[in-house]
A and B are shown apart, each in its own frame.
Chain A
C-alpha cells in the first residue's frame, strides 16, 4: 500500500520567498518524501546477541552513525535503537525474520512519519533557526534527534555538496514542522517541488 501524503493539505509546488534574481542552484529545494519503509528496531536491555546485517548493512551502536547504501539507511536512534529507512518495501519481511521477538522490538512506522527533504547550500542555516544543535559538527551520513521550534524531529544528512537533509517528524506534527521549515526558508528563497 502506498503511503497517504502527510503534507497533502499544505505542500504546494512553486517558488516562494526571496527567490527573484537568484539561480535555481542558489535557492533551496523543498519536497515531501513518501512511500518509504520506516522501521524502528530496539534491542531489549538484557539481550546480548549481536545484530544481523540487513540489505548488506551492519547495525552499529555508535552515536550519529548512519549505515547506508543506495536504497537503505540505518540511523542510530539511541543505544541499541535504530531507525531503518528504505525504498525497498519488502525489506520488512527480512527484518522481522532477522530480529526475533525475544530480543528485539520491531515496529513498522512507515505510516506515522512526515518526511521533508531540503536541499541547498543554506540548509544548515535553516535548521539553525529552530534547532539548538551545533550543525557545523554534522557530517555526511550523520543523523541526530533534536527539536525544531519545540517539535521533536530526526535529521539525516544524506549529502553535503550541496547539503541535503531528510527531516522526520511524527505525522501529526508534520504540518507544524513544514510551516516552521518553510517560514525559515523564505529568507533564502525556496522551490517547493
Chain B
C-alpha cells in the first residue's frame, strides 16, 4: 500500500487520495493573447516521464485539500509533499 504524507493531516493511505495530474503545468496568464499551441500544451499535452515527477493529489476522503507530491513514476517512492500554495523548489 502506498502512503502519502498530507501536509495538513499527516501520513495517510493512498486510498484516501485522488490523483489530479501534473503539478508543474502553468496556466497561461489571464487577459493576454494565447496561441493555440500554448493552449494545447496547457490543456492536453503532457510528458509521460519515468522518474521523479511533481503531481497534484487531492486528499478527498480526508481534509479535502489539494497537495503537491513528488513521486517517482517508476518506483512509486514519494520524496516530498507540499501544500497547494507552496512553490516547488527546483
Knowing A132-B1, A132-B15, A147-B15, say if A152 contacts B10 (CB, 8 Å): no
Please give the residue numbers on chain B whose beta carbons come within 8 Å of chain A beta carbons, in ascending order. 1, 8-13, 15-16, 60-65
- The reply to whether B12 and A146 form a contact with Cβ atoms under 8 Å apart is yes
- The reply to whether A79 and B1 form a contact with Cβ atoms under 8 Å apart is no
Query: How far does the alpha carbon of A81 sit from the alpha carbon of B60 in the complex, in Å?
Result: 14
- The reply to whether B63 and A79 form a contact with Cβ atoms under 8 Å apart is yes
- The reply to whether A152 and B63 form a contact with Cβ atoms under 8 Å apart is no
- Contact partner of A145 (CB less than 8 A), chosen from B1, B10, B11, B63, is B63
- A110 adjacent to chain B (CB < 8 Å): no
Please name 10 further chain A to chain B contacts, defined as beta carbons within 8 Å, in addition to the given A63-B9, A132-B16, sorted by A numbering.
A63-B63, A64-B9, A78-B8, A78-B63, A79-B63, A81-B63, A133-B13, A145-B16, A152-B60, A152-B61
Query: How far does the alpha carbon of A129 sit from the alpha carbon of B10 in the complex, in Å?
Result: 21
Contacts of A134 in B (CB 8 A): 11
- The reply to whether A146 and B62 form a contact with Cβ atoms under 8 Å apart is yes
- The reply to whether B61 and A63 form a contact with Cβ atoms under 8 Å apart is no
- The reply to whether B61 and A146 form a contact with Cβ atoms under 8 Å apart is yes
Contacts of A77 in B (CB 8 A): 63
Contacts of B60 in A (CB 8 A): 152
Contacts of B64 in A (CB 8 A): 78, 81
Please give the residue numbers on chain A whose beta carbons come within 8 Å of chain B beta carbons, in ascending order. 63-64, 77-79, 81, 132-134, 144-147, 150, 152
Q: Nearest B residue to A61 by beta-carbon distance?
A: B8
Q: Nearest B residue to A152 by beta-carbon distance?
A: B61
Query: How far does the alpha carbon of A146 sit from the alpha carbon of B62 in the complex, in Å?
Result: 5
Contacts of A78 in B (CB 8 A): 8, 62-65
Q: List 25 A-B contacts (CB under 8 A).
A: A63-B8, A63-B63, A64-B9, A77-B63, A78-B8, A78-B63, A78-B64, A79-B65, A81-B63, A81-B64, A132-B1, A132-B12, A132-B13, A132-B16, A134-B11, A144-B62, A145-B16, A145-B61, A145-B62, A145-B63, A146-B13, A147-B15, A147-B61, A152-B60, A152-B61
Query: How far does the alpha carbon of A132 sit from the alpha carbon of B59 in the complex, in Å?
Result: 14
Contacts of A144 in B (CB 8 A): 9, 62
CB distance from A136 to the nearest CB of B (A): 13
- Contact partner of A63 (CB less than 8 A), chosen from B10, B13, B15, B16, is B10
- Contact partner of B12 (CB less than 8 A), chosen from A79, A133, A150, A152, is A133
CB distance from A153 to the nearest CB of B (A): 8
CB distance from A105 to the nearest CB of B (A): 13
Contacts of A79 in B (CB 8 A): 8, 63, 65
Q: Nearest B residue to A145 by beta-carbon distance?
A: B62
Query: How far does the alpha carbon of A139 sit from the alpha carbon of B86 in the complex, in Å?
Result: 30
